[in-house]
Amino acid sequence: MAALELRELRKTYRSRGRPAVDAVRGLDLSLEPGELLGLLGPSGCGKSTTLRMIAGLEAVTGGDILVGGASVAGRPAQQRNIGVAFENYALYPPLTVAENLAFGLKARPRGRRGDVSRKVAEIAERVGLTDVLGARPAGLSSGQKQRVSLARALIREPDVLLLDEPLSHLDAAQRDTTRRELKRIQRDLGHTTILVTHDQEEALSLADRIAVMKDGVIQQLGTPYEIYDSPATTFVADFVGEPSVNLLPGVATADGHARLSAGVRIALPVPVAEGRAVVVGIRPEDLSLTGTAGIPARVVAHEPLLESGIATLALDGVERLLVALTGPEVRLAHDEHVRVAAGLTHVFDAETGDSLR
């Protein structure tokens, strides 16, 4: 049985004098026990609203939420046994770390709290907070505050754990360590988890599966590899990947190519009807600068970086510039003429943005 299921979940915000906002428009999702699902999308796509509905902090407009097969959509938050670690930590400043953790248990009925101090000590040990149990939030680093927020959600032994942008306030170094710790803790404890994030790297590195959201609907649901290697839409292709995918409009030809301009053609990965308007997607790492074969291009800019370089190229008669990754040893001069070849390519319908695979 699914640990968490969303069925046709919907939310419309209505406020007087303003047009209604359809924030979530019919979400279907099913999480296996212990799975970590990343809910990924740009600001305003409905991620937080979805999380708040699951937690019981926002009423649903339609559809249902099932935890372990039982509907919880009509139950108040404190009767759902769902742990939430918020982006802004939501810690109580006057309370110590230990008291903040114990507070997480207060949401449970008195008889089910168990031995509070033992549980606080156990969870503090688990997430590495033992040394700061007597400290107050103001004296903690961002990484420690984040762990208190996580521990407070975990101490209730929730059926489902919700993580709201857990790494967004951490600096780069803390983010890496916290990300690894988060993965270890989630694996060890085996909580069914939804991680809400706008950060593709966070989702790709932590999640078993990712749901990419846009305008209140899921555009694609799949493993990080599926999302990255076979994007279902131009939006998903563009949102996931750094530097971004090259998306080049063209027209399919009779011999299996897309014509980007009078002189530039790119082979398509699947047959497409002649004359159909398409968008060819090529990730920067799937382009290589070749010696003599390939499409002629002119170097507009080249940034040599430590691990790889980024070349911006102009193709003859093609409006959009092309971005390609180069080897770390490559040096290119402005206006230099090179040839570029595409390895893996994707093709989408120009009108709908849907993949034609």
Ligand X SMILES: Nc1ncnc2c1ncn2[C@@H]1O[C@H](COP(=O)(O)OP(=O)(O)OP(=O)(O)O)[C@@H](O)[C@H]1O
Strand partners, 305: none
Which residue number, 87 or 157, has a Cβ lying nearer to ligand X? 87
Which secondary-structure segment (H or E) carries 126?
A: helix 116-127
Site string for ligand X, 17-36 (x = CB under 6 A): ----x-x-------------
- Count of residues in contact with ligand X, rule CB under 6 A: 13
Alpha helices in 190-284 (DSSP H): 200-206, 224-229, 234-239
Q: Taking CB under 6 A as the rule, does residue 45 contact ligand X?
A: yes
Taking the least distance from each CB to ligand X, the nearer of 63 and 304 is 63
Which helix or strand (DSSP H or E) is residue 100 part of?
Answer: helix 97-106
Q: Which stretch binds ligand X (CB under 6 A): 44-52, 72-80, 294-302, 341-349?
A: 44-52
What is the DSSP track for 51-70?
A: HHHHHTSS--SEEEEEETTE
d(CA 241, CA 284): 9
Our measurement of the distance from residue 350's CA atom to the centroid of its chain's CA atoms, rounded to an integer in Å, reads: 25
166 contributes a contact to ligand X by CB under 6 A: no
- The one segment of 42-50, 107-115, 275-283, 325-333 that binds ligand X by CB under 6 A: 42-50
* Residue 326 engages ligand X in binding (rule: CB under 6 A): no
Q: Is 214 in the site for ligand X (CB under 6 A)?
A: no
Beta carbon nearer to ligand X, 41 or 166: 41
145 counts as binding ligand X under rule CB under 6 A: no
C-beta separation of 37 from 210 below 8 A: yes
Q: Which amino acid would we find at residue 293?
A: A
The arrangement of strands across the sheet holding 346-349 comes to: 264-267, 257-261, 246-252, 277-282, 346-349
Does 16 contact ligand X by CB under 6 A? no
Closest to ligand X by CB, 44 or 63: 44
Q: How far is the CB of 230 from ligand X (least distance, A)?
A: 24
Is residue 220 at the binding interface for ligand X, with CB under 6 A as the rule? Answer: no
Residues that bind ligand X (CB under 6 A): 13, 15, 21, 23, 41, 43-49, 198
